[in-house]
Structure 1
Amino acid sequence: MIRRLAVVSLSLLATACGQPTPAPEPKAALPATAAAPSGQPSYRAAVSETLIAVRERGVLRCGVHPGLPGFALKDARTEWRGFDVDTCRAVAAATLGDKTKVAFVVVGGADRFGPIQRGEIDILARNTSATFARSAGLGVSFPVITYHDGQGFLVARALGMNSAEELGGARICVQAGTVSEGNLADYFRTRGMTYRPVVTKTEAEARAAYEAERCDAFTADISALAASRSVMRNPGAHVILPDVVSKEPLGPVVRQDDPVWAEIVRSTVNATLLAEELGVTSRTVEQARETATDPETRRLLGVEGDLGKLLGLSPDWAYQVIRQVGAYHEIFRRDLGEDSALRLERGLNAQWNAPKPGLMYAVPMR
């Protein structure tokens, strides 16, 4: 107590003599790891426990759909192919430098979040919609949207239907435990219409029931309907109605307890989008790394600056993503677009500055 009074007295005396009281020493800051322009804040490296675990293991564990054409499906050589698969491969290229270092884990629809919550997988890439309740109540995060979708209805062309509003009283196949099941109920209730749900455990069972005419329509995300139609006995005999009855922003899922890992996943997808915007492809990226003069392209490819260090990634992390997996438009065309069985148009998934603008927009690389 006496010591404390003495300190206070000395402080008051110093103030009275016109000398300021010395400020307490600031806590040591983490070292800046990226040079900042004049007047800008210093940037500090962050640590991801998931990234550390992935590198120690030497493989990325990725949860995928058991078999959805265009998104995740084994080919004739039992190799995984698809849009979600390529998201996993891109993250592996960014973090491990090798797109093949992925262990694919089949995840069902009803308990798709269990494996990510329990830490059994590092990322879930399974045509999953981001919703308020999922983000707020499941301890998971949707760091980036890779595909903007919406729910629709598949019907036989022979029915001659033009709108989902003609489905009053119809039998409708839908997978249990999905957002589609709730959207279906909402759509009919708000319109005062009735329907008879034919609920199945899996998407494959819903498709089989529809083909067997145990229901009059099949509802799911439009991309999933296009995928299902592509493997039916007679794809041309079925049509997706023009009605889009919901918003379904699809993207990879990670745990909320590692925000740096979420940023790594987000940055990986953004790298593919920015590559498309800058005109860099898997075929031209090596030359671009040697000859590019545009500052943003040089930063993206790790030629100038070292932004990857902020996330614990190598300087050429984005270069490896683009070289090994491709720019966004290459991935889309290969898995979902004109080079695939689905032949989906870009639509909302076009770049923000495309002739027909979409919603895809990468943050600047600076």
Structure 2
Amino acid sequence: MSKDSSVRQRCFGIAAAALALAWTMPAGAGTLETVKQRGTLACGVSEGLNGFSDKDAQGKWSGFDVDFCRALAAAVLGDPQKVSFTPLSASERFNALKAAKVDLLSRNSTWTLGREAELGLAFAGITYHDGQGFLVKRSLRVDGALALDKAKICVEAGTTSQFNLGDFFRANSLTYEEKVYPGAAEAFAAFESGQCDVLTRDQSALYGERLRLAKPAEAMVLPDVISKEPLGPVVRSDDFAWFTVVKWVNFALINAEELGISASNIEEALKSQKPDVRRFTGVEGGFGKALGLDPDWAVKAVRATGSYAEIYERNLGTSSKLAIPRSLNQLWNMGGVLYAPPLR
């Protein structure tokens, strides 16, 4: 055997051994194992957004995005309280995720091509179908976005809202005065103090911002939606196993609503003989093991926070102070576009 052949054989043997090792590694290697060993989930959230991520005087976080983190912690760690929340501005959120300062973002972030392809991130589905809108002073006496010609508009720098704003006005041959601020808090303060007539960002956020005004009745959210803003949890793209876990916790909450499973009837669901419910509860299917989780991972998530419907209504819907109609965020069979692959 030649020396070259011997070297090639050794290299092939090393490569084969490495491949075999990779195949025998647990499915949850990487972020999932790190979270389990740490004992807490590190979740990046917004700095404070009504209905999505609020911190009260006692330091307790609540909201739609917060509840998703709690559901994930319950599925992975068995305890929805084992979460540490890191408030992040729009400008720092993606760098914090890339630097592994957090395990995921659950922070009203829009899914775009650029953010995945250029930043090396992955969106694990859509939790809220949103669109950009406008909060305006009633004193402007406008009833639609096309009446905003020559308006002074406050917007947060470096966001999809800033880019969409320019696109909308150019496409409709309108002019405006852009007032750019480094963060959402600064943009809101400028709007409230009268430095601009209009505040633009995701429409869901505007409902919350309106309630923060000293005189909410003096402002209104216009009905116009000028963009698609699919919001959802974000992870690093180099850990497919973790991406899969986050994605399927999201899908489980949606499927729970479709199957009629809620926090209040989860014990009855555990006794069900329906095949799709038995797969959901982990009695059949073995999907928990495939994810690197306990068989009842989906049950733990729903027991902690409720189904998607319960999370939505509690934080954003008719049971909340925001009272945002579900609209697109209804299930696909109820007139909306909310759709999750089946657990099978």
Asked whether the two chains share a fold, i.e. TM above 0.5, the reply is yes
> What is residue 61 of structure 2 aligned with on the other side?
80
What is the one-letter code of the residue matched to 2:252?
A
CA distance in 2, matches of 1:256, 1:52: 16
Trace 1:266-285 onto structure 2 (pairs within 5 A). 266-285=247-266
Trace 1:275-314 onto structure 2 (pairs within 5 A). 275-289=256-270, 291-314=271-294
Contact 2:42 2:83 in 1 (8 A): yes
The more displaced of 44-53 and 147-156 is 44-53
> What is residue 144 of structure 1 aligned with on the other side?
125
Query: What is the CA distance between 1:46 and its match in structure 2?
Result: 2.4
Q: Secondary structure at the match of 1:188?
A: helix
Trace 1:110-189 onto structure 2 (pairs within 5 A). 110-189=91-170
Q: Secondary structure at the match of 1:63?
A: strand
Q: Secondary structure at the match of 2:333?
A: coil
> What is residue 295 of structure 2 aligned with on the other side?
315
Aligned length: 328
Query: What is the CA distance between 1:29 and its match in structure 2?
Result: 11
> What is residue 339 of structure 2 aligned with on the other side?
361
Structure 2: segments with no counterpart, 5+ residues? 3-18
CA distance in 1, matches of 2:258, 2:22: 34
What is the one-letter code of the residue matched to 1:363?
P
CA distance in 1, matches of 2:198, 2:125: 31
> What is residue 14 of structure 2 aligned with on the other side?
none
> What is residue 48 of structure 1 aligned with on the other side?
29
**More helix by percentage:** 2
Q: Secondary structure at the match of 1:224?
A: helix
Q: Secondary structure at the match of 2:290?
A: helix
CA distance in 2, matches of 1:120, 1:89: 18
> What is residue 64 of structure 1 aligned with on the other side?
45
Contact 2:140 2:197 in 1 (8 A): no
| Cα deviations by residue, 1:128-173 (Å, 9 ceiling, x for unpaired) | 0000111110010001100000001111223321111111111000
Identity rate, percent? 48
| Cα deviations by residue, 1:30-54 (Å, 9 ceiling, x for unpaired) | 999xxxxxxxxxxx97233100000
CA distance in 2, matches of 1:230, 1:55: 39
| Cα deviations by residue, 1:54-79 (Å, 9 ceiling, x for unpaired) | 01100000001111111101124321
Is 1:264–2:245 an aligned residue pair?
yes
The more displaced of 204-213 and 247-256 is 204-213
Is 1:191–2:183 an aligned residue pair?
no
> What is residue 252 of structure 1 aligned with on the other side?
233
When the two chains are superposed, the root-mean-square deviation of aligned CA atoms in Å is 1.9
| Cα deviations by residue, 1:303-357 (Å, 9 ceiling, x for unpaired) | 2232110010000100000001110000000111112121101111100011xx1
What is the one-letter code of the residue matched to 1:361?
Y
CA distance in 2, matches of 1:336, 1:229: 14
TM-score by length of 1: 0.86
Query: What is the CA distance between 1:236 and its match in structure 2?
Result: 2.4
> What is residue 318 of structure 2 aligned with on the other side?
338
CA distance in 1, matches of 2:273, 2:107: 38
Query: What is the CA distance between 1:97 and its match in structure 2?
Result: 0.6
What is the one-letter code of the residue matched to 1:303?
V
Query: What is the CA distance between 1:295 and its match in structure 2?
Result: 0.8
Structure 1: segments with no counterpart, 5+ residues? 3-26, 33-43
Contact 1:45 1:310 in 2 (8 A): no
| Cα deviations by residue, 1:10-37 (Å, 9 ceiling, x for unpaired) | xxxxxxxxxxxxxxxxx979999xxxxx
What is the one-letter code of the residue matched to 1:98?
D
The more displaced of 265-274 and 150-159 is 150-159
Q: Secondary structure at the match of 2:93?
A: coil
CA distance in 2, matches of 1:303, 1:75: 39
CA distance in 1, matches of 2:26, 2:41: 22
> What is residue 328 of structure 2 aligned with on the other side?
348
CA distance in 2, matches of 1:179, 1:359: 22
Is 1:235–2:213 an aligned residue pair?
no
Q: Secondary structure at the match of 2:332?
A: coil
Distance 1:166 1:111, change over 3 A: same
Q: Secondary structure at the match of 1:300?
A: helix
Computing the radius of gyration from Cα coordinates, the structure with the larger value is 1
> What is residue 16 of structure 2 aligned with on the other side?
none
TM-score by length of 2: 0.91
